[in-house]
Amino acid sequence: MPVYRSTPASGPRHGTGRRRRWWILGVLSTAQLLVVLDGTVMNIALPSAQADLGFPNGQRQWVVTAYALAFGSLLLLGGRIADLFGRRATFLVGMLGFAGTSALAGLAGGFGVLVAARAGQGLSSALLAPAALSLVGITFTDAGERATAFGVWGAAAGAGGAVGMPLGGVLTQYLGWRWAMYMNTVVATAAFAAGALLLAPAPRERTSRLDAPGTVLVGSGLFCLVYGFANAENHPWTSVATWGFLAVAVALLTAFTWWQARARHPLLPLRIVLDRDRGASLIALLQTSSAVFGIFLFGTYYLQQSLGYGPAATGLAYLPMIGGLIGTSPLATNVLLPRFGPKPVIAASAALAAGGLVLLAALGLDSPYPTAVLPALVLTGAGLGTIITATTSLATLGVAADDSGVTSAAVNAMQYVGGSIGVALLNTVSAAATTSYLAEHDASDAMTHKLAALSGYHSAFLCLAAAFAVCLLVAVPLYRRFTAHRADSACE
């Protein structure tokens, strides 16, 4: 019976003052914000970049895909590097690389340089993201502080997804597309300087070795997985460019699992993911991340194309949802988990988010924001904030310090793969619903096209609401029964 009590890990906390720890959290949360934001900020700046650099439509997807492939396929390697060579050093190298490659992307004079820079951003993110999450876990081991820290972390992740495309639109509209990249350089440079001053060197794992076969297998498998789902946005599922890569991904990841059970120094020890509470949390994160990416994508489409909002207004429209994320994040780990345990908390949060999505699926072309859009966003944000914070905290709870980097990488991988899967599947669902609506109505009427697009958004939101059954039917039953030791629990 778990009591949700952590084992104190060696790390910054033992020599870190209370105020210093919160400054560290600010730096680490900024890193997470940049990683999530950079996955979307370029999307809306892409047409301007294409017009400026003059590359054809057939190549433009690589500006987005290059980042996704590098980040998604190298996350586990980045996490293990943090364990082997030190989390502080890995974080700082990743942040410095992110600042440099962002500047290179902004200065790009041609398509090849831009794509290479975007891949460099993905590589840098794969280093700094797991190192940052690992540092959060080992910096905050006190129950109340850890709960609040993961609440802030979850809010940063949600905010990055919410403001990515609107921010990209504002920067592109008023300063030019290159500032969508320069902005990263400015913030990352400041975060690097602050991290170098605040982060103390922490003990690193000295007995293990890098698992080369495991690295090749999982890196190749995740590459094929992300690439296959990325192709699904532009190719039919029957195309070998889609199902072929997904089939290879399944084979490679199966081989990786087989090897991890036999390797002397496994890249991802199976004991990490086979723990019931951690495995349940990773499954819930996989599904929840698809909802986060889907809401921000189709919510932005709805606000801009159906309601006619501009980029700045769209960003402001998401603020209440971010408020819901921030407000419920500390509540989840400070109050709800210690008192009730994960089963009812995750189940209730999934139901709350699903309810908000159902409300989003009922919006019309003229739905008023205060009475229709606002409640749906707040409800969804509250549910997602609780799930993300609780599952992230539980997924990193009680992990040995030597494995905290790769565990954090597994958390990031679940979130990113979940987003890739969600966007690909939701685009398919939305496109099918839009096509079906047009086939049944007068396609020559402009209003019909608006209603057809709205039908596609509705289908995507309903699909996401139904997908929370994954949390209710798969993840929730896996959690062990909660034994209340309230003074020492609460996901320390």
- Rounded (5°) CA angle 237-238-241: 75
C-beta of residue 82 within 8 angstroms of C-beta of residue 99: no
- 428-466: per-residue pLDDT in tens? 888 888 888 888 887 777 788 888 989 999 999 999 898
- Tens of pLDDT, residue by residue over 303-340, are 888 888 876 677 778 888 877 877 777 777 777 887 88
Q: What is the mean pLDDT of the chain?
A: 81
| pLDDT tens by residue, 123-176 | 999 898 888 888 887 787 776 677 677 777 777 776 666 666 667 777 877 888
Q: What is the percent of the chain where pLDDT is above 90?
A: 15
Question: Residues near 391 by Cβ (< 8 Å), separated by ≥ 6?
Answer: 281, 282, 284, 285, 288, 346
In a domain, 6, yes or no: no
d(CA 330, CA 146): 9
Q: Which of 220-229, 380-389, 400-409, 461-470 has the lowest mean pLDDT?
A: 400-409
Quick check: is 220 in a domain? no
Among residues 364, 317, 354, the alpha carbon closest in space to that of 458 is found at 364
Residue 1: the pLDDT is: 37
Residue 223 within a domain: no
pLDDT of 360: 93
Using pLDDT thresholds of 50, 70 and 90, give the confidence band for residue 58. low
237 CB neighbour count, 10 Å cutoff: 13
- Say what the alpha-carbon torsion angle 259, 264, 266, 269 is, to the nearest 10 degrees: 100
Q: CB atoms < 10 A from the CB of 301, how many?
A: 18
Query: What's the farthest any 2 CA atoms get from each other in the chain?
Result: 69
Q: Residue 5: what pLDDT? A: 42
Supply the pTM of this predicted model: 0.78
> Is 99 part of a structural domain of the chain?
yes
Instruction: Kindly indicate the confidence band of residue 483, based on its pLDDT and cuts at 50, 70 and 90.
Output: very low
User: Residue 30: pLDDT band by 50, 70, 90 thresholds?
Assistant: confident
| pLDDT score at 241 | 79
Q: What's the CATH code of the domain at 192? A: 1.20.1250.20
> What pLDDT score does 16 carry?
52
Which residue type does 142 have? Answer: D
> For residue 8, is pLDDT > 70?
no
Query: Tokens at residue 297, please?
Result: 């994508």
Distance CA 242, CA 364 (A): 34
The whole domain housing 119 covers 12-210+267-478
Q: Is residue 100 over pLDDT 90?
A: yes
Q: What's the number of domains the chain is made of? A: 1
Instruction: Tell me the three state secondary structure of residue 225.
Output: helix
**Any domain includes 247:** no
More confident residue, 247 or 65: 247
Q: Is 400 a member of any domain?
A: yes
Burial zone of 221 (CB within 10 Å; 0-12 exposed, 13-18 middle, 19+ buried): buried
- Residues constituting the chain: 492
Environment class of residue 386 by beta-carbon count within 10 Å: exposed (0-12), middle (13-18) or buried (19+)?
A: buried
Q: Does residue 70 fall inside a structural domain? A: yes
Determine contact, residues 98/118, Cβ cutoff 8 Å: no
The residue among 9, 39, 385, 63 whose CA lies nearest residue 205 is 9
Is the Cβ–Cβ distance between 60 and 46 less than 8 Å?
yes
The per-residue pLDDT for range 393-410, each reduced to its tens digit, is: 888 777 777 777 788 788
pLDDT class of 202 with cuts at 50, 70, 90? low
CB atoms inside a 10 Å sphere around CB 428:
16
Say whether pLDDT at 385 is over 50. yes
Domain assignment present for 112: yes
102, two tokens: 């962002």
